[in-house]
Amino acid sequence: MTLDRFYPIFDSADWIVRMLPLGIKLVQLRMKDQPDDIIREHIKRAKSDCAKHGCTLVVNDHWQTAIDLGCDFIHLGQEDLDIADMAKIRSANLRIGLSTHDDDELERALSFDPAYVALGPVYPTILKKMKWTEQGLERVTVWKKRVGNTPLVGIGGMSVERAAGVFDAGADIVSAVTDITLHDNPEARVQQWLAATR
């Protein structure tokens, strides 16, 4: 199954429900610091709406809830990977996307045969404090050579204007967060993204 080249990440089902009618085909729900029942409710809503719109939903981190609710795709960061029950995830046939930032993390990620590998932050990002500085486009090219046929996601400081350079460097998919959610007109921005990636 080929993944769409545009991969927005939202922190609530409200965003996902709002943006899906525009034609998004791959989306991540990334909710942090919320009670389990709230997270479960958002995953449920996002899953239902994604099914209606033929969109692939990726659930960040909450793999047990994803299994419970019949989701089929999760994303794990390296810290999540430390505590996740990979045998249980495998037996539930969940597809997995994994974050990577350095060589050791990439080797580890590839050992799990992921559905994609994400490299970030490609550019400086305001989204979260990270110990890594920006990776740069050359690193994207190096990563693509190393991951081979595994799809490579470029994330971190992404904008429509930067997308072409990231694709040219070797990324298969570009992921955006604040470029949409902090935009004056998020709908128009999503449409620009779709035009730039299809």
The predicted-structure confidence for 16-69, as pLDDT tens digits, reads as follows 999 999 999 999 999 999 999 999 999 999 999 999 999 999 999 999 999 999
Which tokens in the block code for residue 197? Answer: 């990636």
**Cβ contact 180:197 at 8 Å:** no
> What pLDDT score does 127 carry?
64
Distance CA 167, CA 153 (A): 9
Contacts (Cβ under 8 Å, ≥6 apart) of 91: none
> What pLDDT score does 160 carry?
96
> What pLDDT score does 124 carry?
86
Distance CA 27, CA 175 (A): 9
Cα dihedral sign, 47-51-52-55: positive
DSSP H helices, the chain, are 13-19, 36-53, 63-68, 78-83, 86-91, 103-110, 137-147, 160-169, 178-181, 186-197
Q: Which residue has tokens 């004056």?
A: 184
Q: Strand 173-176 vs strand 6-10: parallel, antiparallel, or unpaired? A: parallel
Average pLDDT over residues 141-153: 98
- pTM, whole model, 2 decimals? 0.96
pLDDT band for 189, please (50, 70, 90 cuts). Answer: very high
Task: Give the CB-side neighbour count of residue 156, counting CA atoms within 13 A.
Answer: 24
> What pLDDT score does 1 carry?
72
Which tokens in the block code for residue 198? Answer: 């299809």
Q: Which residue has tokens 């996902």?
A: 16
pLDDT digits (tens, 9 = 90+) for 157-184: 999 999 999 999 999 999 999 999 999 9
Distance CA 152, CA 117 (A): 5
> What pLDDT score does 42 carry?
98
pLDDT digits (tens, 9 = 90+) for 99-140: 999 999 999 999 999 999 999 999 987 765 666 678 999 999
Q: What is the mean pLDDT of the chain?
A: 95
- Ordered by where they begin, the domains of the chain are 6-197 (3.20.20.70)
